[in-house]
């Protein structure tokens, strides 16, 4: 945990940019009487090339294109940041949100509705092709820093020396548009 941008940059440099990530949400997650008080104003989608559903690189790239089309259509013109990790794509999308679902009586029957919103949004945008291991929450919504290295894709020699690394790269950048969270129509209500 760090307390400033300068401290975060120092930690990234100390790690040689290996597995450098930053949380999309505040930590600790704000709560009122033990109930989430974080506005669901961001979600991410993770497409993993190693997923057995993608038999070819072409199928994987087609899935990315369909996912981007879903963002555009279902979120009324959304254009997320797309990052390449060396093994897949991560799509980052801020939302305009003015409601804490846990604080609304209409969602009282649901357990963790804001967290479920993030899962629902990812599935909706990727047509259920998101990485099955990806389970975003306010506590673990970690974003890799562009230009950093994913240790899963670092190659080492017999002496454990790094011989090659694939850096996190930005394929396309967010255009500043925040679609309203209500476009997601979570649970058919919002």
Structure tokens at 8: 């975060």
> Residue 164 sits in which domain range?
5-188
Residue from 69, 95, 66 nearest 186 by CA? 95
Q: What is the pLDDT of residue 12?
A: 93
Q: What is the pLDDT of residue 186?
A: 62
CA distance 73 to 76: 5
- Range 157-180 average pLDDT: 81
Its pTM stands at 0.87
Residue 103 CB contacts under 8 Å (≥ 6 apart), including other chains: 32, 35, 37
Query: What total number of domains does the chain contain?
Result: 1
- pLDDT at residue 190 greater than cutoff 70: no
Could you give the 3-state DSSP secondary structure of residue 84? Answer: strand
Structure tokens at 35: 């109930």
* pLDDT single digits (tens) 33-84: 888 899 999 999 999 988 888 999 999 999 999 999 999 999 999 999 999 8
What CATH code is carried by the domain that includes residue 157?
3.30.70.1790
CA distance 125 to 69: 9
SS (H, E, C) 141-175: CEEECCCCEEEEEEEECCCCCEEEEEECEEEECCC
């Amino acid at each position: 945990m760090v307390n400033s941008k300068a401290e975060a940059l120092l930690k990234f440099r100390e790690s040689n940019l290996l597995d450098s990530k930053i949380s999309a949400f505040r930590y600790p997650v704000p709560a009122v009487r033990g109930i989430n008080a974080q506005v669901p104003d961001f979600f991410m989608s993770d497409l993993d090339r190693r997923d057995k559903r993608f038999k070819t690189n072409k199928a994987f790239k087609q899935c990315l294109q369909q996912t981007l089309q879903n963002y555009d259509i279902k979120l009324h013109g959304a254009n997320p940041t797309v990052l390449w990790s060396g093994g897949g794509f991560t799509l980052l999308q801020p939302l305009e949100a003015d409601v804490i679902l846990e604080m609304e009586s209409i969602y009282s029957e649901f357990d963790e509705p804001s967290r479920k919103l993030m899962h629902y949004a990812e599935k909706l945008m990727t047509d259920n092709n998101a990485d099955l291991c990806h389970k975003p929450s306010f506590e673990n919504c970690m974003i890799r820093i562009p230009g950093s290295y994913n240790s899963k894709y670092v190659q080492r020699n017999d002496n454990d020396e790094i011989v090659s690394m694939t850096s996190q790269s930005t394929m396309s950048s967010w255009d500043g548009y925040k679609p309203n969270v209500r476009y997601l129509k979570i649970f058919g209500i919002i």
